[in-house]
A and B are shown apart, each in its own frame.
Chain A
């Protein structure tokens, strides 16, 4: 006799969804590949940023700021591509949960960042592009909320 109590509820990996925005590295080879790609991209960003700041301090070259800008844009474009590949490799319910979480992130993110834009205009506060990483927090929370519908 199967353990029907255990099977009556599908457990979603809460910690993975909250901390890394996926269903966990044990979930599939695609997840492991996505996380490996993220770590490599972030390592390149950190090392590249360090080298460009050292070069900027040593040579006072304005071009190093453009190197940092390119690194930042390139890294997060690559991560976005890797995330898309990961989502494409999921099974249909996993993909649906991820897509619904992204839709929530889009509308909540738009409201939050348009509001922040208003605050920036009023206060002349310069919003760092890194604030946009906050979208990942919204996406993680949305993932948890959406997955609860399919428990």
Chain B
């Protein structure tokens, strides 16, 4: 899964810690999502979408293969 979390976070001038606090997760979780090492659960993806005021598919998209 590819995502735009890092790009969206930097657009809003948020640190990983601030985004993590807003979403109720650890900074490690945000980092792992941004680096593509971890795909979030659906509830967290929805929370993220609500936070950025976007749809899930605007943030996450499947790998082509």
Hey, which bits of chain A sit against chain B, CB under 8 A?
Answer: 2, 7-12, 23, 27, 91-94, 96, 147, 149-151
Question: Is the pair A93, B32 in contact by a Cβ cutoff of 8 Å?
Answer: yes
Hey, which bits of chain B sit against chain A, CB under 8 A?
Answer: 10, 13, 15-16, 24-32, 37-38, 40-41, 44
Question: Is the pair A92, B31 in contact by a Cβ cutoff of 8 Å?
Answer: no
Beyond the given A10-B16, A151-B32, please list 4 additional residue pairs across the A-B interface where CB-CB is below 8 A: A7-B31, A92-B40, A93-B28, A150-B37
Shortest C-beta distance, A92 to chain B (Å), equals: 5
In the complex, what residues of B have CB within 8 A of residue A11's CB?
Answer: 28
* Bound-state Cα–Cα, A149 to B26, Å: 16
Question: Is the pair B10, A91 in contact by a Cβ cutoff of 8 Å?
Answer: no
* Bound-state Cα–Cα, A108 to B26, Å: 29
Instruction: Please give me the residue from chain A that is nearest to B27 by CB atom.
Output: A10
Known interface pairs A7-B31, A9-B31, A150-B38; A92-B44 also in contact (CB < 8 Å): yes
Instruction: Please give me the residue from chain B that is nearest to A12 by CB atom.
Output: B28
